[in-house]
Structures are given as structure tokens and as C-alpha cells.
Amino acid sequence: MAQAATGDILVFTDADVRWQPGAVRALVAQMLTSRADLLTVWPTQTTVTWAERLVVPLMALVVMAYLPIWGVHYVRSFIFGAANGQCMAWRRDAYQQAGGHQAVRDNVLEDVTQARIVKGLGLRLRMADGAGWIGCRMYENWATVRLGYAKNILAGYGGVVPLLVATVFHWLIFLFPWVWLMFGGGVQALALVALGLTLRALTAGWTRQRIADALLMPVSAVLMTIIAAQALIWHWRYGGPMWKGRIVKRAGAKS
């Protein structure tokens, strides 16, 4: 527990995160250099099965393409609040000021919520890439990928309407251009296909994923649509996501 720790820096990490030799030293150095109140590190994701390869790297695409790091670092708005609970390092005073994990005990997306609290308090939020010194394998097959992402996606996008808008947007960017090209879309369709592939390939290369998997981005878009549909079904049927056999609801919500 945080109360039992004696240091000025508190590091929270998931049990399945693998730390390479020297990783803790690098983390502390990064935190001191950036003078962060909260430093969140994105571990290098290990992806083995096709479901992992086609879905897990999209997390990096969303963060890198839609959430400019300068906004996370320098814009106070909660819109730029992002974090990965797999590795979060706090300055002790900042953690206490933000209410610790007690403040997000009823939140299915507690890491992002904590980042937004930090933004609201005017504290310094910083993000960093795990650079191979921190790694994790989040899921092992399509079933775990689907359920794991469906648990968080609705909260991550901020509600039903934003999720629906984002889904349509991804169809237009990553799926429609391929259909248009197949039906004679010409240079314009080819340009849009190339844009989507380039974006996916660049984020894959930056995060040490397989660049060639970018060619299957239309399949990834379909899989993410299925995940979004699962999240919406849970929301409308149960009022919250299903995880490990139980419905996850905010404190005070009716069962």
C-alpha cells in the first residue's frame, strides 16, 4: 500500500509487466529529468496471436495520432489527460493531493481518470515510451482481447455518442478507402489508403510492433467495431461492462 511506502516516488505497476535490468533506474531518471508529478510509461507490448497483433497496437495509434504529446505535457485541459495503469510513477505529494487510488475506486478507467485529476489540479503530467525496458503481454487470444478492450472502450471515449462517432470516423479513414479503391476510386482512394497505412505503420514502428501488420488495418477496424458493439451491448443490457463474471458499475449505481 502507498501508506506503507517511505520514498518520495511511488511506482504502481501491473503484475504482468516485465521489468528489464536498469528499468527502475531509467524510470526514476526520466521522472527527475521531466520534473513530473505523474509520469506514465507505455510498456512495449508483446503480441503473439493475430487478434493481439491486429488490436493491441491500436492503443498506441490512438495515443500518438489523436493525443499529441505536447498537449499531454503542456495543455491543462482534461481532454489531454491520458495514462497507462501498467506503469505510473507519482511524486508522493502529488499522489496524496490527487486523492490516491481511493479517489478512483469506483472507476473502470482509473488510470485515465487519475491523469485527468492531475490536469485539473494543474500538476505536471508526463508520458514516456517504455523503450523496451518495460514490457507486457496484455492478452492471449481474441476472446481476452475482445473482453478486455470492451471493458474500457466506452469510458475511454467518454460515452456512447463519442464512441459511435469515433467508430464511424475509423470506418471512413481505415475501411471506406479500401472499398472505394475496389470500386474504381482511383488516385483519391489510393491516397487515402496510403495515408491510413502510413499512420498505422509509423506508430507500429515507433512502438516496436510489426510494421507489415499495417496492411491489415481494415481488419483491425472491423475488430474494433465488434469490440465497440460488445461494450454498447453491455451498457444497454447491464448498465456497465462485464469483467471476470461480474458487472462493473460505479459506486452507488443500482445492480
| pLDDT attached to residue 69 | 82
- pTM to 2 decimal places: 0.86
Q: Which residues of the chain have pLDDT under 50?
A: 251-255
Homologous superfamily assigned to 2-136: Spore Coat Polysaccharide Biosynthesis Protein SpsA; Chain A (3.90.550.10)
Cβ atoms 156, 109 nearer than 8 A:
yes
Neighbour order of strands in the sheet with 134-136: 17-19, 134-136, 44-45
What is the Cα–Cα distance from 149 to 156, expressed in whole angstroms? 10
What is the Cα–Cα distance from 144 to 160, expressed in whole angstroms? 22
| pLDDT attached to residue 105 | 83
Q: Would you list the domain boundaries of the chain?
A: 2-136, 142-246
What the block records as the C-alpha cell of 67 is 493525443
| pLDDT attached to residue 253 | 41
| pLDDT attached to residue 3 | 58
What the block records as the C-alpha cell of 40 is 506514465
